[in-house]
Structure 1
Amino acid sequence: MKEGKILIVDDNEDVLFALHLLLEAYVGQIRVTTHPEKIEQFMEAYHPDVIILDMNFKRDAISGQEGFQWLEKIKTVDPQVVVLFMTAYADTDKAVRAIKAGATDFIPKPWEKEKLLATLSAAMELRKSRTEVQQLKEQVAALGETAHDSQYEIIGESQAMQEVYSTIEKLRDTDANILILGENGTGKDLVARALYHQSPRAERIFVGIDLGSIPEQLFESELFGYEKGAFTDARKDKSGRLEVASGGTLFLDEIGNLSLPMQAKLLTAIEKREIVRLGATRTIPIDVRLICATNIDIHGMVAEGRFRQDLLYRINTIELHIPPLRERGSDIQLLADYFLARYAHKYKKEIKGITRDGRNKIQQYGWPGNVRELQHAIERAVILSNGSMLRQEDFMLRPAPQTSKNTSEELNLSLLEKEAIERALRRADGNVTRAAELLGITRFALYRKLEKLGL
């Protein structure tokens, strides 16, 4: 064996010494105690795989009643742990009762070495199987919780999208961490799934988590999991997404929302390839391929000190940029026809297509919400239309911003920013660090602005 952890509980120190001496060559770690009331403490701190439990303690020498009481407490703390009863007073009735209560097998006193080792080996295998089954259950649950609407494929024939397809193809045999950059609604989640389906881990689990939709105080418990009792509502152990995704792929959407303390913890997990649940002390090994995405200027965040540069290096072995819809030309019409067919079928409408004026309107619109906004616009138009074609007036789009006014405001803001920086530099006698403090920004952010404004 030479693996796993066992806890031996017996009120006879000679028995404990003999078992420890015998098993230390075959088991990874061994703990012993003569005090059954300390079992729960051992379980919380040591997390044994197998517990060898004496049935008869000094208070009740032969009935085994104490053993059954401690077995019940053990199963309450960890239902997956394997318990082997040890007794010199075994009989059929006790054996049947023990199995019904949750024990796995008996070890007789005195024991035979080969039988003892065989029983313990089988117990270790059972514990391993239970752990794997539990992990599979958690993975299935996670799939249900994080399943995206994956019935949409990536649609696009434009040159911009051909470059995206080419990059995805080049990455099909790699396990490298990937950072997907793009505006809201461009389909970063679909690209993440495409990368997953073409990766060496395509047969393993894909777990996604939208960090933009999770309150900051829940980041740690969602990513790393928690032990029972770690906080008020922690009524049972729960695996985090990093643990559940082990062996597969974890998609962290909107990673720019991670706080600096959580960035540090994620970096440690990636570097050490292990995690610690909230409220626990033991480490859990993980093997995860990360795909991250954000609509934020993450390089700007690094310059401003709001995102760790070392974490950025870890998550963007490859950086993939998704073009906004306004830069995809004819893909707008292609996507419009796709969504029209889908929603006409869904809402049982006999709509054959889009009029020329309608197509001109959607082609000229800027689509600040990208593909997601186009999808909602088509769905709304289908619902409200009474004709056989979608017309220009069926598309209720946001009015386009006035370019001249915005340009003027942008120029004025740039001028004000330049004047403020120059004034701060003069007051700081050219000291960039001091000027940054006066402006209320980081030194790195000031350097970027100086470069941008040509100062």
Structure 2
Amino acid sequence: MLHDSTSFQRNQAVVLLQPPGHPLSECPVVSTMRHVGMVLHECHTAEQAGLTGCSVGVVLVADLMWLQRLSTFEPMLAHSGITWVGLIAHDLVGLPAVRNLVADYLFNFIALPAPIEHIVLVLRHARGMAFVRTQPRSIWPESNIAGDKHSPMLGRTPPMQRLFHQIKRVARTDAPVMIDGQSGTGKELAAQSIHRQSARRHAPFVAVNCGAIPAQLFQSELFGYEKGAFTGAIQRRIGRIEAAQGGTLFLDEIGDLPMDMQVNLLRFLQEKTIERIGGNQTLTIDVRIIAATHIDLADAVARGRFREDLYYRINVVCITTPRLAERLEDIEDLARHYFARFASRHNKSLRGFSKAALHTLLHHSWPGNVRELVNRVQRAVVMAEGRFIQPEDLGFGPASPSTMLMSLEDARAEADRRMIERALSQARNQVSVAAQLLGISRVTLYRLIDKYRLKPSIFDERPQPESQLLQLVSTLNPTEPDCTNTDGYSELI
């Protein structure tokens, strides 16, 4: 663990991960850490790391022997409660094993040798990120459906609050419920929430997609069959209705139900009994019916495509899931919620959404509703190559500058940020080289890195050959429109 009397509080610690048999005193960087007041302790197992309560860990890779023991430390590195920073010997950085280590487990890393100030700065950032990650993920604790803490439905806009209130009310009864709404608005999630808040919550919730089952198989799927009822019926199989005994039967896209099956379903709703295909035993079934559709059932009844008597049987209480376009204030929060989920799942160290990406999200029409939003955010997390998600990562074209409405200050900050990122990339994250490319001092660049919360993953202050520097300068074109400020107010100019 690591304590720093000036930079770290005494009740905070950092795990130091190093193979047994490597005395800490033999490593120069460890001596330097101690010299500035840090107290170091080793941990060799995930259990030891977990017991420390540390939020930040240091991985010291000084030689090839450490890499040979990587598999031993993988359980410790995968510890979800620790944010790892690597201190890696410069000549090992390019090895495939090191690259895999960085990609799979590290929040950031520093190439050694490096100034102690850089190490402290990165550890501060890692501790800040660890603090953020330990905060509750829910962004609307007051707007989650009351009594249903497991519901993934989120939103604080009036349409969603109205939906949550309706769900809570209908859950208290046993009346059939019709959920109306466009595809992708969360009709099944609403049905599940009704079930979880009802007296039937300990019994099964069985969902049937009426539009996905072939017509010739629908009766056997719904009612089940006996052994030998038809060719291929080698054993008894209970149907979906029987499987939901005592619980809730959710009939999704009921508007796609064939007319002949509408008759059979109506008979079941009236009599509360079924017979398996090929059987002669009448079974009494106790289930609650929740149906959902994306079409106008009243219009389908008027056109003769849906039975009127069945319509009134299932449409006792009707609630509507709102379109995403009706809850614009929820879009950014939803996007950030799913970004956090997918970034963690895919182990991506992205910073978030760029202003252009957020602008695009807020001005998209969302024909696919929340399902489309989730799909686009997951795609962006997987495809993004920079530190921030851009519109093209979300599957949109690059945002048109003429449609972007941001303040002049924000535009300048965005230009500075993108220019710094490109300079660091072209300079292979060598801060001194990047500062020369940008025409500013190294101190100024560090201040801007901290201001814009950018994190170069390698701190290497070794001077570069003049020929290499000239080559880097030639590859960075400072006249590109997205990286300049003609008014002269940018901090980089």
TM-score range for the pair, normalised by the shorter chain length: 0.5 to 0.7
CA distance, structure 2, for counterparts of residue 177 and residue 204 of structure 1: 17
Partner Cα distance (2:168, 2:247) in 1: 19
Residue 450 (structure 1) aligns with:
none
Equivalent in the alignment of 1:7: none
2:278 is equivalent to residue 279 of structure 1: yes
Pairing 1:39-438 to 2, within 5 Å after superposition: 153-397=152-396
Cα distance in 1 between the residues matched to 2:318 and 2:224? 28
- Partners of 2:167 and 2:305 in 1: CA distance: 29
In the alignment, the residues of structure 2 paired with residue 353 and residue 281 of structure 1 have an alpha-carbon distance, to the nearest angstrom, of 61
345 and 152 in structure 1: CA distance in 2 versus 1, 3 angstrom threshold? farther
CA offsets 1:303-346 (integer angstroms, 9 cap, x no match) = 11111111111111100111111111111111101110111111
- % same residue: 44
Task: Give the distance between the partners of 1:397 and 1:265, measured in 2 at CA.
Answer: 46
Gaps of 5+ in 2: 1-148, 399-493
CA distance in 2, matches of 1:157, 1:349: 28
- State the SS of the aligned residue for 1:293: strand
Amino acid in structure 2 at the alignment position of 1:153: P
Answer whether contact 2:224 2:239 (CA < 8 A) is retained: yes
The SS at the match of 2:178 is strand
Q: What is the Cα deviation at residue 350 of structure 1?
A: 0.8
Aligned-partner Cα distance in 1 for 2:167–2:263 = 29
CA distance in 1, matches of 2:227, 2:295: 36
Contact in 1 for aligned 2:253/2:291 (Cα 8 Å): yes
CA positional deviation for 1:363: 0.7
Cα offset, 1:205, TM superposition: 1.4
Contact 2:391–2:397 (8 Å) recurs in 1: no
Cα distance between partner residues in 1 of 2:247 and 2:188: 16
Q: What is the CA-CA distance between 1:151 and the residue it aligns to?
A: 7.4
Quote how far apart the aligned CAs of 1:398 are: 8.6
One-letter amino acid of the structure 2 residue matched with residue 186 of structure 1: T
Q: Is the 8 A contact 1:377 1:397 kept in 2?
A: no
Mapped contact 1:256–1:298 kept (Cα < 8 A): yes
Alpha-carbon distance in structure 1 between the residues aligned to 2:333 and 2:354: 14
Asked if the contact 1:225/1:239 (under 8 Å) is kept, the reply is yes
TM-score when scaled to structure 1? 0.54
Give the number of aligned pairs: 251
1:135-168, Cα deviation, whole Å (9 max, x unpaired) = xxxxxxxxxxxxxxx9761011111101101101
CA contact (8 A) 1:224 1:275 kept: yes
**CA contact 2:275–2:283 (8 Å) conserved in 1:** yes
On the 8 A contact 1:251/1:291 being kept in 2, the answer is: yes
Q: Could you tell me how far apart the structure 1 residues matched to 2:299 and 2:218 are?
A: 23
| Root mean square deviation of aligned Cα | 1.8
Contact conserved, 2:224 with 2:276, CA < 8 A, in 1? yes
Q: Which residue identity lines up with residue 192 of structure 1 in the other structure?
A: A
Structure 2: distance between partners of 1:216 and 1:326: 34
Task: Flag structure 1 segments of 5+ consecutive residues without an equivalent.
Answer: 1-149, 400-455
Per-residue displacement from partner, 1:275-308 (whole Å, max 9, x unpaired)?
0111122211111100111111111111111111
For residues 329 and 258 of structure 1, the distance between their equivalents in structure 2, rounded to whole angstroms, comes to 33
Moved over 3 A (4+): none
CA deviations over 1:217-243 (Å, ceiling 9, x no partner): 111001100111111111111111111
Query: SS of the counterpart of 1:291?
Result: strand
3-state SS of 2:305 partner: coil
Distance 2:311 2:397 in 1: 36
Using the alignment, how far apart are the partners of 2:249 and 2:397 within structure 1?
Answer: 36
SS at match of 1:208: strand
Residue by residue over 1:326-374, the C-alpha shift from the partner in whole angstroms, topping out at 9 and shown as x without a partner, is 1111111111011101111111111121111111101100111111111
Q: CA contact under 8 A between 2:250 and 2:289: conserved in structure 1? A: yes
1:247/1:288 contact within 8 Å kept: yes
Cα pair 2:151 2:193 within 8 Å, conserved: no
Residues 172-195 of structure 1 show CA distances to partners (whole Å, capped at 9, x for unaligned) of 310111010111111111000000
CA distance in 1, matches of 2:293, 2:361: 26
Secondary structure in 2 aligned to 1:201? Answer: coil
CA displacement, residues 356-409 of structure 1 (integer Å, 9 cap, x when unaligned):
11111011001111111111101111111012211223221499xxxxxxxxxx
| Residue type of the alignment partner of 2:170 | L
Provide the TM-score with structure 2 as the length reference: 0.49
Contact kept in structure 1, 2:203 and 2:245, CA below 8 Å: no
Q: Structure 1: how far apart are the matches of 2:364 and 2:290?
A: 31
Tell me how far apart the structure 1 counterparts of residues 263 and 363 of structure 2 sit (CA, whole Å): 44
CA distance in 2, matches of 1:262, 1:216: 8
CA distance in 2, matches of 1:240, 1:330: 42
Find the aligned partners of 1:183 and 1:248 in 2 and give their Cα distance: 26
Instruction: Give, in whole Å, the separation in 2 of the partners of 1:353 and 1:278.
Output: 55
Q: Using the alignment, how far apart are the partners of 2:237 and 2:171 within structure 1?
A: 32
Give deviations 1:102-160, integer Å, cap 9, x for gaps: xxxxxxxxxxxxxxxxxxxxxxxxxxxxxxxxxxxxxxxxxxxxxxxx97610111111
